[in-house]
A = this chain, B = another copy of it.
Amino acid sequence: MYSDNQRKLILKLNKKKFRLANKLFVAEGKKVVNELINSGWPFKMLFSTEENFHKDAHLIKNEDMKKISHFNSPSPVLGVFELPDEKKILSETTTIAVDGISDPGNLGTIIRLCDWFGLSELFCSHDTVDCFNPKVIQASAGSIVRINCHYVKDLVKSLVLLNKPIFGTSTNGDSIYSTKLLDKASYVFGSEAHGISESLLYQLNGEISIPQFRDTNIKPESLNVATATAIFLSELNRNKN
């Protein structure tokens, strides 16, 4: 079982400032927790509603899991892990950056996509939702283990420093299907509501778009940013396979 102080701490870890102050974060779900443990991420506490999940896991009742979970439908496993130190920027050939993504599910999905398409890092503007938010961790489905998220103070500056062309995704750029997508480049995905920030727009070497295929008058406005990232990464990599 957990103490009252442990319960309070776990619930507080929903907020970034408490994660930073305690150097801890919460992961929920068997698969994610297993991936973190197997990758050697040090944990502080493990709780499970199922026996034999892990020798160090405390067996707790479903009703007690509900009291510490950050989800309406809790998973059978919750772990509190040490927040890793910031990693060095590797500067891979292709850089993916997100600018002001606020939905945890979208960021987690984008992290999972970067992993699938063989990347190791993701640039995030300072106002992007924190990658150690419990909901991002869950949506990333364990991929947080392999993707370093670099939160940079000034995304424009950081991308310019990489010294390669910068492309933005928007709704009125050149079609990704007819544009030669450069391997050595940075690609920025803007926020769900506001797109790419203005200071970054000035630095772009081009804008690219996913065309839509509906020929009626009423048209869908835009794609979800995570599905747009999926389509873009597929298009960028399809010839490498």
A116 on interface, CB distance cutoff 8 Å: yes
A199 on interface, CB distance cutoff 8 Å: no
Contact A241 B177 (CB under 8 A): yes
A187 to B118, CA, bound (A): 26
A141 on interface, CB distance cutoff 8 Å: yes
List the B side residues contacting A148 at CB < 8 Å. none
Query: Per-residue CB proximity of A170-191 to B under 8 Å, as 1/0?
Result: 0000010110000000000000
Number of this chain's copies in the assembly equals 2
Query: Per-residue CB proximity of A205-241 to B under 8 Å, as 1/0?
Result: 0000011111110101101101110110011011111
A142 on interface, CB distance cutoff 8 Å: yes
A113 on interface, CB distance cutoff 8 Å: yes
Most chain B C-beta atoms within 10 Å of own C-beta, residue among A145, A214, A216, A227: A227
Contact B113 A227 (CB under 8 A): yes
A41 on interface, CB distance cutoff 8 Å: no
- Chain A interfacial positions (CB closer than 8 Å to B): 31, 38-39, 105, 109, 112-113, 115-118, 139, 141-143, 145-146, 175, 177-178, 210-216, 218, 220-221, 223-224, 226-228, 230-231, 234-235, 237-241
The minimal Cβ–Cβ distance linking A14 to chain B, given in whole angstroms, is: 12
A105 to B108, CA, bound (A): 14
Contact A142-B220, Cβ < 8 Å, known A115-B214, A213-B240: yes
A214 to B117, CA, bound (A): 6
A145 to B117, CA, bound (A): 33
A85 to B240, CA, bound (A): 47
Q: What residue of chain B has the Cβ atom nearest to residue A235's Cβ?
A: B234
* Sampled A-B contacts (6; CB under 8 Å): A116-B212, A141-B221, A175-B241, A211-B241, A213-B237, A234-B234
Contact A118 B230 (CB under 8 A): no
